[in-house]
Amino acid sequence: MAGGGFAVDGGNFDGLGGRITLSVVITCFVAATSGLIFGYDIGISGGVTTMAPFLKKFFPSVLRKAAEAKTNVYCIYDSQVLTSFTSSLYIAGLVSSLLASRLTAAFGRRNIMVLGGCTFLAGAAINGGAANIAMLILGRILLGVGVGFTNQAAPVYLSEMAPPKWRGAFNTGFQFFLGTGVVFANCLNYGTAKINWGWRLSLGLAAAPAAIMTIGALLISDTPASLVERGRLTQAKQALLRVRGQDTNIEPELAELIKSVGFGSSSALIAAIILGVVNLGSILVSTFVVDRRGRRFLLIVGGVQMFLCQVGVACVLAATAGTSGTAHVSKNYAILVLVLMCIYAAGFGWSWGPLSWLIPSEIFPMKIRPTGQSISVAVGFAAAFVLSQTFLTMLCHFKYGTFLFYASWIAVMTIFVVLFLPETKGVPLESMHVVWERHWYWQRFVSKESF
C-alpha cells in the first residue's frame, strides 16, 4: 500500500546516534531486566490459582464448587472471585502507569524503575507471607503498582539510550526478559505444584527478579534525554559520552535533545512451559530482524501468522468438539491444537509482543514521550483485565467461535498497520517528525513544530 510502506528518504541522520559501546550495552541490559518482574507475575499467578493448597486456604468455596461443577471442552468452572484476584494487578498497573508519566518526567526514567522495583519487592514479600485474602489483595496491588512503573519507564529508557540504528534490537530485550520471567515462573509452578507450601515459594520468589532489576537500576545513569528535560545539561553531556563513546561527536545529538525538549494441572503447566519457551525463542528472532527488515514487516507477517493459527484452532475444535463440547477430543487433535498455539506464540513473540513496547516508546516527541508510553501501557493493562475476566465466559458461550472473534481483531490490527503505521527503523528519536510529516495520512495532523 502506497504511503503505508513509508520509507524515510532525504533525511541526514549520520550525525546522530553514535555506535554500540560497552556502556550502552550494560545500561540497556539492566533496564531490559525490568521485563523479568512482569513476566514472572504473568507466569506465576495462573499456576498458583490452580494449586489445591492455595485454594483450600484462601478460596475453599471455589475448590468445592469446582469439584461439583459440570464441565466440557469449552466450559470449565469459572470463579469471578478467583479471576479478580489475578486481574487486580492489571487495575493497579493501569492507574500507576498513568501516574508514572508525570513521575518519569519529574524524577527521571531510572528513578522510577527503582521505585517500581522496590514496590514490587514489598508486594512479593506480603504475598509470600500472606495469612488472609486482605494480605493477598494488598500484595497484588503493590505488585501492580511496581509493574505499572517499570513497564512505563523501561521501554522509554531503552529507546532513549540505544543508538538509532539498533534501537529495535535493544528494545526487544525488554520482551526477551519478560518471556524469560514467564518461562522461569512456569517451571517453578510445575516444581512446586505438589508441595503443600509451594504457593508461598512461587509468590515469594517474585522478590528475586525484582531485586536483580532494582539493584541493577541503582548502578546505571539516567538517559541523556531525561537529564536534558530536567535541566541537567552537564550530566547529559557526560551520559552521552559514556553511551556513545569518547571519540564520538555528541554535540549534534545534544543540540537536538535540547531543541526537542523545548526545554493448572501438570499437563497444563507443561503446556505453559512449552508455549513460554517457544515465545522466548521467537523473541530472539525479532532482536536480529527488527532493525534489518523493519517494524512493519514483522507486524504484518506476525499478524498473518497469528490470524491463521486462531482460525486453525477454531476449525480443529469445530471438527472435533463441535458446538456441544461433550465430544471426546483425541490426543492427536489436542497435540495439533498445542502446535497451533505454539506457532501463534512464536508469531506473537517476534512481532506484536516486543514491538508493542518498542513503537510507543519511539514515536512520540520527548515532551510527551512519558505520557504517550503511559497511555500505551494503561491500555494494555485495561485490555489484559477485560480478557482475563471474560475469556472463560466467552469460551463457554461462543465455543470455538471465541477464536474466530480473536482472529477478526488480529485482522483489524494487521490492516491498521498496513494502512496507517509508518516505518521508523533507524530514525533518530529527535528526527521522528520526518516520518509523520511524510506519511500519506498523518501528515495532515502533524508538523515539525509539534515535535
Query: pLDDT band at 254, cuts 50/70/90?
Result: very low
pLDDT tens, position by position, 218-229 = 988 887 777 777
Mean pLDDT, range 115-129, rounded to an integer? 95
Q: Which residues contact 274 (CB under 8 A, 6 or more apart)?
A: 338, 342
Instruction: Say if residues 243 and 27 touch (Cβ distance below 8 Å).
Output: yes
Return the CATH fold of 22-450.
Answer: Growth Hormone; Chain: A; (1.20.1250)
What does the block give as the cell for 431? 528526527
Of 330 and 119, the one with more pLDDT: 119
> Is pLDDT at 256 greater than 80 in this prediction?
no
For residue 58, pLDDT over 80 is answered with yes
**Is the pLDDT assigned to residue 278 strictly greater than 90?**
no
Q: Is the pLDDT of residue 413 over 90?
A: yes
Mean model confidence pLDDT for the chain:
82
Question: What end-to-end distance do the CA atoms of the chain give, in Å?
Answer: 26
Find cell 509539534 and name the residue.
Answer: 450
Position 37 scores a pLDDT of 92
In angstroms, the CA 93 to CA 143 distance is 8
**3-state DSSP percent of the chain in helix, strand and coil, to 5:** 75, 0, 25
pLDDT at 311 (0 to 100): 96
CA distance 342 to 277: 9
Please answer whether residues 223 and 160 qualify as being in contact, where contact means their C-beta atoms are separated by less than 8 angstroms.
Answer: yes
Is residue 364 over pLDDT 50? yes
Q: How far apart are CA 293 and CA 169, in angstroms?
A: 12
What integer is the mean pLDDT of 365-378?
86
Cell of residue 386, nine digits: 477485560
Please check the confidence at residue 252 and state whether its pLDDT lies above 60: no
The letter for the amino acid at 422 is P
Q: What pTM was computed for the model?
A: 0.74
For 382-400, the pLDDT digits (tens) are 888 888 778 878 888 888 8
CB 253 within 8 A of CB 18: yes
Query: Is pLDDT above 70 for 243?
Result: no
Q: Average pLDDT, stretch 156-167?
A: 83
Cβ-proximal residues to 403 (8 Å cutoff; 6+ apart), any chain: 310, 311, 313, 314, 317
pLDDT, position 5: 44
Q: Which of 121-130, 182-191, 427-436 has the lowest mean pLDDT?
A: 427-436
Which three-class secondary structure state does DSSP give residue 435? helix
The fraction of the chain above a pLDDT of 90, given in percent, is 28
pLDDT classification of 266: cutoffs 50, 70, 90: low
Count of residues in the chain: 451
Ramachandran area for residue 399 (φ above 0: left; ψ -120 to 50: alpha; else beta): left
pLDDT at 81: 72
pLDDT greater at residue 208 or residue 169: 208
Confidence of residue 417 (pLDDT cuts 50, 70, 90): very high
Tell me how far CA of residue 445 lies from CA of 7, 260, 441, in angstroms. Answer: 19, 19, 8
The predicted structure's pLDDT at residue 246? 46
Grid cell for residue 80: 469471578
Q: Which residues of 7-41 are buried (b: 16+ CB within 10 A; e: fewer)?
A: ebeeeebeebbbebbebbeebbebbbbbbbbbbbb
Give the residue among 105, 141, 142, 136 at the shortest CA–CA distance from 120.
Answer: 142
